[in-house]
Amino acid sequence: MTYSRILGVGSFLPEKRMTNDDLAKVVETSDEWIFQRTGIKARHIADDFDTTSNLAVKAARRALQQADTAPNEIDLIIVGTVTGDYAFPSTACLVQQKLGITNNCPAFDIQAACAGFMYAMVMADAYIRGGLAKKVLIIGAETLSRIVNWQDRNTCVLFGDGAGAAVLGASDEPGILHSKMCADGEFASVLHMDGRMNNGEWNGAKFINMDGQAVFKFAVKALSEVAKDTITEANFPAEKIDWLVPHQANSRIIDATAKHLGLPREKVILTVAEHANTSAASIPLALDEGIREGKIKRGQHLLLEGIGGGFAWGAVLLRY
Ligand code: UT7
């Protein structure tokens, strides 16, 4: 039986770090308000050169190195992003070119907002198990700072930029054990950026719009359920989860999900304080930090989970 395993992980954060106090000089807010409501202390902000594809490439190079994989060994590239460099071509095609991959492997983006990296992982797993690919580069990369309204304190305090990547490879040993991906377009207007190009003019919103309380309420319920469903369907007891690696949007949402699973905070990888919400990049950034800090070790069981605009959400159970 063929499984897909994580061969290597890497991430990249732009150099510029903006604290809550820095933000309080721009909008009417405070470190106390932001930290109490979200657990965020700081976020990283891309400079003009840090396009989403450039962040993605920096994370990808690290993941390839960790996986001991040459760029041309990659036979599929999937990038989860809502802030791709262009409407088209895809960021994945730009990544392919910048990494010097010349084997004509397929490359495409997935748009599932904050769930984008998990969606990419599940698709990569299906390609590998179906025999269509042997080594897949999956990336979550975002420059959300370019689509937040820096005058809107309801949203601008929440987001940051960054990228995370993983190389998945075919293996006789698991690997990805089980996953459950969900979406409900009924909630499209709760968290969205509904602007678009129309005959050469931008129509509609230019920035992220969010009903924070509605997202919060739905997120706690949906994530608790999907996390439970994923391990139940895999017949995997919660107490055997070594690490919960959640989407890093809000520490209160993360705490609620962990509590529902009966997991103590010591088993949760928490990076929201320093990264803020980096959408599709948040889970691989957390995964990479957990590995580099020596918390996550080979052979351990991880549960990834997260939700974003759509709503699109899900969870992945895997053996690292
Ligand atoms: O990937 C998924 C992405 N999104 C999320 O996960 C977001 C989920 N939602 C949340 O995390 C929370 O709803 C927020 C952190 C966004 C907001 O927290 P809240 O407890 O729901 O606050 P609220 O929106 O009900 O606002 C409470 C008050 C309001 O003032 P009044 O009307 O009570 O006077 C807001 O105007 O806090 C005010 N407020 C702020 N004050 C200082 C809103 N934003 C700020 C701010 N600083 N940045």
The answer to whether 154 is a known catalytic residue is no
Count other Cβ atoms within 10 Å, centred on residue 278.
Answer: 34
pLDDT tens digit sequence for 59-96: 999 999 999 999 999 999 999 999 999 999 999 999 99
For the chain, give every residue range classified as CATH 3.40.47.10. 3-172, 177-319
The SS3 of residue 289 is: helix
In CATH, the architecture of 3-172 is 3-Layer(aba) Sandwich (3.40)
Dihedrals phi, psi of 67, to nearest 5 degrees = -85, -5
- Are 251 and 267 in contact by the 8 Å Cβ rule? The answer is no
The pTM score is 0.97
Q: Which of 20, 26, 190, 213 to mutate to test the pocket of ligand 1 (most atoms within 8 A of CB)?
A: 213
Of the candidate CATH numbers 3.40.50.720, 3.40.50.300, 3.90.930.12, 3.40.47.10, the domain formed by 177-319 belongs to 3.40.47.10
**CA 79 to ligand 1 center in whole angstroms:** 30
> Contact, 222 vs 280, CB < 8 A?
no
206-259 pLDDT tens trace: 999 999 999 999 999 999 999 999 999 999 999 999 999 999 999 999 999 999
Write down the pLDDT at residue 188.
96
**Cα(226)–Cα(303) distance, rounded to whole angstroms?**
11
By alpha-carbon position, which residue is closest to atom 42 of ligand 1? 29
Predicted confidence at residue 4, as pLDDT, reads: 97
Helix, strand and coil content of the chain, in percent to the nearest 5, comes to 40, 30, 35
**Percentage of the chain surpassing pLDDT 70?**
100
Q: How far is CA 68 from CA 6, 99, 180, in A?
A: 12, 15, 29
- To test ligand 1's pocket by mutation, which of 114, 147, 215 has the most ligand atoms within 8 angstroms of CB? 215
Instruction: Single out the residue of 51, 53, 36, 44 nearest to residue 282, CA to CA.
Output: 44
**Helices assigned H by DSSP within the chain:** 20-24, 31-38, 52-66, 91-98, 116-129, 153-156, 212-233, 251-261, 272-275, 282-292
Residue 112 banded pLDDT, cuts 50, 70, 90: very high
